[in-house]
Structure 1
Amino acid sequence: MSSPHLNTPEAKLADAKKELGLPRIVAICGSTRFMTEMVEADLRETTGRPGKIVLRPGFDLKSPHELWSDPVEAKALKGRLEELHRSNILLADEVLVVGHDTGDSTRAEIAYARSLGKPVRFTHPEADPDA
């Protein structure tokens, strides 16, 4: 006898993505210090066979920009972006961690992805905090 299908929002999302025939979705995580490597990983994941939909940080808050030049606004924006990135992880089928080391934020993203049962890959396996 098979176990009943869980009717959670996550299960519904997975079923909908399957029904729509969407490619796998990968969320890229890691320090924005590795932005160049993230862009390269995005390129390889998108153009690979089969190609994947890639979600990744689009910019680095450490680089100057008028949108986060005010420290109070920058702190608020950082919080909103962290929540948005957690949504990327929730939406993704898998996570790719880019970079040769992981800080607190990246380790928290890895733990979140694993708590959701998402496969987590590393461009540098030695960066896996659980290895």
Structure 2
Amino acid sequence: MPSTSIPGSDSTTPVPGAGGVGADQLYVEPEAIPDITRSLQTALDQLGPQIEHAFNDLRIVPWAGDPVSQEAAEQFNEFSFGGSEAAFDALCGYRDQLQSAAGTLEEAEAQYRRIDDDNADLLEANGC
């Protein structure tokens, strides 16, 4: 499972589903996390209406009422909605990956803050 390196620490945080860099690790500068999370949220905000539009308006019906338009409509709808390689499923999968990445980054940011707080407490306890 990929992990996130914690700067100034010997520990790592698992990052489920993240693509790894190097030896299955993904390193993100703590100060970059809020901007990255906002970017992911912007992408999600733009993608949501597209998914809704696709779900509500993308299916087509046979426009001429003949066998050719019937076959064309069936094939289009199959490519759009039928099966794991369908366009609609790809959009939903992309949305799920964006949501997962945003959640993972939020967890990493919380861990960075905990480590910083722990280090500050340790320094204070040692009179620094």
TM-score, length-scaled by structure 1: 0.32
Structure 1 or 2: larger helix share? 2
Greater CA radius of gyration, 1 or 2? 2
TM-score, length-scaled by structure 2: 0.33
Higher relative contact order by CA 8 Å / sep ≥ 6: 1 or 2?
1
